[in-house]
């Protein structure tokens, strides 16, 4: 039976398998309680990763040493606020693993407070930081305690959120989340991965956006009866939008902005940058621009695309 070696005994196994470090892929999943970490972990398990949920940070180093010793190549670990006082040491541990050559991807799942409150209300689960919540009989007071716990959790996880690729799960379905996670981990290794995301302003701005561009002022195919039911991926809509100079001008403006700053972001050791393009319904204009931008930037950078309002249909 294999056991986790004591930290002081890990030097020899790590050195003995140093040649395999380059083939060791580690995905760390963190995020808000109720944001979908279990769904993301299942997606990684389906993709062939050996998955461990709620690993205490104190066991991270010996666990990785054991996995290297056993010549594992794809490992996923979920950590959350239940780890308590040991959470602050995780960013430093991750930096150490990167210096050792471990291919590390960090995913942070987030959601709006309203979405989290609704999920807890539907499942009747208790938030790990709201121990007093179950003792409250008054519904408004229970919700107040829950919101306080969520706010505290955001504060405790702030350092883990920085530097991670953030996925906003507020209004996406589990199948969408699984698809997004699999796309991120399958993206080719590069200095920077770009995620272009279309969305509808009427359903809120994505929490995972690093940059947000509002394209609601552009000509809208929604008002053309023959195009209303189509999307920005359909040839008829593409041709119609290309006929309007403002659409081309918007593309060039976004392109030039990103070209100006992407190298600086890469030099700042950013792994992911999410560029969100929003229109009224998230169906035509934003979808068209995301498709074009992903195609254009994909020649130089690893570029992914998401269509928040379409992917779940």
Positions at the binding site = 31-38, 80-83
At 195, which helix (H) or strand (E)? strand 193-200
Residues 171-200: b if buried by 16+ CB within 10 A, e if exposed: bbeeebbbbbbeebbebeeeebbbbbbbbb
**Contact (Cβ atoms closer than 8 angstroms) between residue 30 and residue 80:** yes
- Token duo for residue 132: 């007093």
Beta bridge partners of 51: 76
The CA distances from residue 276 to 11, 132, 242, in Å, are 44, 38, 20
Q: Specify binding-site residues for GTP.
A: 80-83
Q: Specify binding-site residues for ATP.
A: 31-38
Cα 12–13–17 angle (5° rounding)? 115
Alpha-carbon distance of 285 to 117, in angstroms, equals 32
- Output phi, psi for 256, to 5 deg: -65, -40
């Amino acid at each position: 039976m294999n056991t986790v070696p004591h930290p002081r005994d890990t030097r020899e196994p790590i050195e003995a398998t140093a040649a395999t470090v380059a083939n060791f892929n580690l995905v760390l999943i963190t995020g808000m309680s109720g944001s979908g970490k279990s769904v993301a972990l299942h997606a990684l398990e389906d993709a062939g990763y050996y998955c461990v949920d709620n690993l205490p940070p104190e066991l991270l180093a010996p666990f990785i040493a054991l996995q290297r010793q056993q010549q594992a190549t794809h490992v996923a670990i979920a950590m959350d606020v239940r780890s308590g006082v040991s959470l602050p040491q995780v960013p430093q541990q991750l930096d150490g693993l990167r210096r050792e050559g471990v291919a590390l991807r960090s995913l942070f799942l987030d959601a709006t407070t309203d979405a989290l409150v609704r999920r807890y209300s539907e499942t009747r689960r208790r938030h790990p930081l709201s121990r007093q919540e179950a003792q409250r009989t008054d519904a408004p007071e229970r919700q107040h305690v829950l919101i306080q716990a969520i706010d505290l959790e955001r504060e405790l996880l702030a350092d883990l959120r920085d530097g991670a690729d953030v996925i906003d799960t507020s209004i996406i379905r589990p199948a969408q989340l699984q698809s997004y996670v699999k796309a991120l981990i399958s993206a080719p290794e590069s200095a920077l991965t770009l995620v272009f995301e279309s969305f509808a302003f009427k359903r809120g701005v994505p929490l995972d956006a690093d940059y947000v561009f509002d394209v609601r002022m552009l000509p809208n195919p929604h008002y053309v009866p023959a195009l209303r039911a189509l999307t920005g991926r359909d040839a008829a809509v593409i041709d119609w939008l290309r006929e309007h100079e403002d659409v081309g001008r918007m593309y060039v403006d976004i392109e030039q902005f990103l070209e100006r700053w992407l190298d600086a972001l890469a030099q700042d050791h950013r792994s992911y940058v999410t560029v969100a393009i929003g229109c009224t319904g998230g169906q035509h204009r934003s979808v068209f621009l995301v498709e074009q931008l992903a195609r254009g930037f994909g020649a130089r950078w690893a570029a992914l695309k998401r269509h928040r309002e379409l992917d779940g249909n």
